[in-house]
Amino acid sequence: MIPILFGVLLLTFVVSHVVTPYPARAWAGPRASESTVQTIANRYHLNDPLPIQFYYYLSDLFRGDWGVSPSTGQPVLANILAFFPATIELTIVAFLLSVAVGIPLGVVSAVHRDQPVDHLLRLVSLSGIASPPFLVALLMQLILFYYLRIFPESGGRISPLISPPTHITGLFLVDSLLTGNLPAFVSSLQHILMPALALALVTFGLATRLTRASMLEVLRTDYVRTARAKGLNNRTVIYKHALRNALISTTTIMSSAFAFLLGGTVVIETIFSWPGIGRYAAQAVLNLDFPAIMGTTLVFALGVVLCNLVADTLYALLDPRIKLG
């Protein structure tokens, strides 16, 4: 955990100070004057030897100085914290959606192996993985919004006519439930569903395929044969004996799916105007706003490290044979 975190910080340092040919120019932004570039270079010690730069880089990070975004003129950390809850909410809903749909379909696929259902599900889940996120998002907008008019026009987390719920966690769905604000809950649900579905498509395919693969492996084992031999009905064997064991490996790998989800937010949030970190990163790319990009990259990496930690803990809880050492 600690070595990984150190490694993550070292890598962001290498990318921002060593790989980048003109760090001071990159940090100052493309439209900055020569004197501003100089000020930035002095402020962040960009002319010092690299180890000393790394020391200042770390101490700045820990003091909460993540640089100032040239395009918004605000501190990067403040921007990221403001956009953070929206992204968390979106990724959690997308993750739940993909797992809730993906795992049952994976079971169906494994049980009906090499039958037409299996081929169809394989095609669907592979298309989910193979489709560019922007294509899915645009198709959903085209069909669900322009033609069927099921969902509200994309943009924001809640209808502009409804005031957002009182800030408790920053997650609109949770906050509106906690305060009993039903109109806000319904409106946020309507707004989150389309981007979450679009985002979920990639990890949904992953969940289906992982569940299928590990189910196939488990269904071959002796204890499943024993369960069948002692006359348990098919349902019990599949869901009680096989699936519980198959889920162990699915759980661990699905945690790495969070990395995909976070990467996906960059595109999905942009298309659906979802005010989160992903859209912030995409705008930073357009504006060549390097401090903002580096800040986002760091936050996303910290998020992935945290998810892996959670997954390891879950792994130990799910599988009594494994003890946390």
- Neighbouring-strand partners of residue 75: 68
The candidate with the shortest Cα–Cα distance to 213, out of 113, 120, 64, 282, is 113
Residues counted in the chain: 325
* Closest CB 58 distance from another protein, rounded Å: 15
Sequence-ordered strand ranges (E) for the chain: none
Name which position in 37, 105, 293, 311 contacts another protein (CB under 8 A).
293
Q: Considering the rule CB under 8 A, would residue 168 count as an interface residue with another protein?
A: no
Q: Hey, which residues between 237 and 276 contact another protein (CB under 8 A)?
A: 256, 259-260, 262-264, 266-267, 270-271
| Half-sphere exposure in the Cβ direction for 198 (13 Å, CA) | 28
SS3 145: helix
Q: Which residues lie closer than 8 Å to 170 by C-beta, 6 or more apart? A: 84, 85, 86, 88, 89
What is the contact mask toward another protein in residues 91 to 130, using x (rule: CB under 8 A)? ----------------------------x--xx--xx-xx
Q: How far apart are CA 271 and CA 138, in angstroms?
A: 8
Lookup result for tokens 């990395």 = 259
Q: Which two tokens stand for residue 196?
A: 């979450």
Question: Between 4 and 96, whose beta carbon lies closer to another protein?
Answer: 4
Question: Between 143 and 182, whose beta carbon lies closer to another protein?
Answer: 143
Question: Between 7 and 64, whose beta carbon lies closer to another protein?
Answer: 7
Q: How far apart are CA 211 and CA 121, in angstroms?
A: 12
Q: Considering the rule CB under 8 A, would residue 281 count as an interface residue with another protein?
A: yes
Q: Considering the rule CB under 8 A, would residue 219 count as an interface residue with another protein?
A: no
Q: Hey, which residues between 5 and 34 contact another protein (CB under 8 A)?
A: 7-8, 10-12, 15-16, 19-21, 23, 26
Name which position in 93, 197, 301, 311 contacts another protein (CB under 8 A).
301
Evaluate whether 122 touches 210 at the Cβ level (below 8 Å): no
* Closest CB 217 distance from another protein, rounded Å: 8
Q: Considering the rule CB under 8 A, would residue 322 count as an interface residue with another protein?
A: no
Q: Which residues lie closer than 8 Å to 314 by C-beta, 6 or more apart? A: 251, 252, 255
Q: Which two tokens stand for residue 242?
A: 């096989």
Q: Considering the rule CB under 8 A, would residue 3 count as an interface residue with another protein?
A: yes
Q: Count of CB atoms within 10 A of residue 79's CB? A: 23
Q: Considering the rule CB under 8 A, would residue 309 count as an interface residue with another protein?
A: no
* Closest CB 238 distance from another protein, rounded Å: 19
Q: Considering the rule CB under 8 A, would residue 290 count as an interface residue with another protein?
A: yes
| Half-sphere exposure in the Cβ direction for 218 (13 Å, CA) | 25
Residues that bind another protein (CB under 8 A): 3-4, 7-8, 10-12, 15-16, 19-21, 23, 26, 119, 122-123, 126-127, 129-135, 138-139, 141-142, 146, 216, 256, 259-260, 262-264, 266-267, 270-271, 281-282, 284-286, 288, 290, 293-294, 296-297, 300-301, 304-305, 308
